[in-house]
Structure 1
């Protein structure tokens, strides 16, 4: 059975933790769709086009990974791309309650769509995009937490400010 997984997120910015999940998912699933969300409840540092481009650059080595932007319901996006599985990363137990609620709602909206959770490798479990932005904004070194292309964009973004 060829299973397509969809890995949604804002990826603002993409971190090494995200890349870890994508790399591992690429080994597990026939196809992985990384779905970059437009989230009107958040003010993104990078616009949707930039986030898609950054992800395309760091996932080029994976033949079975596609990057898309979306601004509709995840279940509708999953249907559009024939995804069977929603893939979510869990960094800590504190993520579980929210993710559990999302999984339940997605199952109500689209019963055939399963949710699978992956935990990041230990060295990435404390990384969050919000934390990366705050450290970078304050002039801290985030080079070990993000891919080089993202690091350069963060430096440009905060040196212009």
Structure 2
């Protein structure tokens, strides 16, 4: 009976190790791809001065009114996404909602910000800021490092035991 439990526990540890390594590797790869996208965007981006014209409040629950309600459920705090207007190099007025929101709001209505955009698609602009460019790669890369580290630690411990 004792041998059967030990063998079953060893299988579970092996699956846990491979699972941690797999999740870590996938997260690291996705984080690196997102970092590459940000670097590519920075290389090709035009720069312009913009103004925050509104804060779009959204809750993670996705309200039926388009997410602009400040009503919350329990701990579901709304997040403020800055809406920015700027003019492209040829003078075309453009408005976009930044992909990174926060609570409390990181920007105020009327605040001037530097905008990065691609000349061929100015509506896909971003505010030039650390979070807008690097939050996704950092989160996924960090998760990848943690899970890969745990998986590698389990593999090292398993190898050392045998």
| Pairwise same-fold verdict (TM > 0.5) | no
Query: Higher strand proportion, which one?
Result: 2
**TM-score, structure 2 length as denominator?**
0.25
**TM-score, structure 1 length as denominator?**
0.25
Structure ranking higher on relative contact order (CA contacts 8 Å, 6+ apart) = 2
